[in-house]
Amino acid sequence: MSDNSTTTYMNSYLLLIFFACLTVRWCVSINSYSGAGKPPMYGDYEAQRHWMEVTFNLPVQKWYQNSSDNDLQYWGLDYPPLTAYHSWLCGYVADKINPDWVALQSSRGYESDTHKLFMRYTVMIVDVILYLPAILLFYLFAIKGKTIGERLFLTSIVLLYPGLILIDHGHFQYNNASLGLTVFAVTFVSLGHDLWGSFFFVCALNYKQMELYHSVPFFCFLLGKCIKSSEENGLWKLIKIGSVVVLTFGLCWLPFLRDTDVALQVLRRLFPFGRGLFEDKVSNIWCVLDVLFKLKRNIAQDHLVLLSLATTIMCLLPSAFHLLLNPTIEKFKYSLVNCSLVFFLFSYQVHEKSILIPALSVCLVFHNQPFLASWFLLISTFSMFPLLMKDDLVLPYFALTLLFITAVVFYLVLFEHQSTSTFLILLGMLSVCGSVSISTVAVTIPAPPRYPDIYPVLISGYSCGHFLFFLLYFYYAQLSCEFDGNDTKSNKQAKLKVPKKKQKYQHKKKGKKRD
Tell me, yes or no, whether 95 lies in a domain.
Answer: no
According to the model, what pLDDT value does residue 506 have? 43
From the CA atom positions of the chain, what is the Rg in Å? 23
pTM for the complete prediction? Answer: 0.91
According to the model, what pLDDT value does residue 507 have? 44
- Signed CA dihedral, 491, 496, 499, 505: sign only: positive
Tell me, yes or no, whether 478 lies in a domain.
Answer: yes
Query: How close are the terminal C-alpha atoms of the chain, in Å?
Result: 31
Tell me, yes or no, whether 467 lies in a domain.
Answer: yes
Residues 412, 366: Cα–Cα separation, whole Å: 12
Look at residues 375, 360, 472 and name the one whose alpha carbon lies nearest to residue 433.
375
User: For residue range 400-443, what is the model confidence (pLDDT) as tens digits?
Assistant: 999 999 999 999 988 876 677 888 999 999 999 999 999 999 99
Tell me, yes or no, whether 511 lies in a domain.
Answer: no
Model confidence band, residue 2 (pLDDT cutoffs 50, 70, 90): low
Side-chain half-sphere CA neighbours of 492 within 13 A: 12
% of the chain at pLDDT higher than 90: 76
Tell me, yes or no, whether 262 lies in a domain.
Answer: yes
Tell me, yes or no, whether 141 lies in a domain.
Answer: yes
- Signed CA dihedral, 264, 266, 267, 269: sign only: positive
Question: What burial class does residue 318 get, using C-beta atoms within 10 Å of its C-beta: 0-12 exposed, 13-18 middle, 19+ buried?
Answer: middle
Question: What is the extent of the structural domain holding 165?
Answer: 3-30+112-493
Residues 70, 68: Cα–Cα separation, whole Å: 6
Which residues have C-beta within 8 Å of that of residue 84, sequence separation ≥ 6? 51, 55, 60, 63, 64, 77
Q: Which residues pair with 67 in a beta bridge?
A: 70
How much is the mean pLDDT over the chain? 90
What is the chain's length?
Answer: 515
Contact (CB, 8 A) for 167 and 175: yes
User: For residue range 43-91, what is the model confidence (pLDDT) as tens digits?
Assistant: 999 999 999 999 999 999 999 999 999 999 999 999 999 999 999 999 9
Number of domains within the chain: 1
According to the model, what pLDDT value does residue 11 have? 78
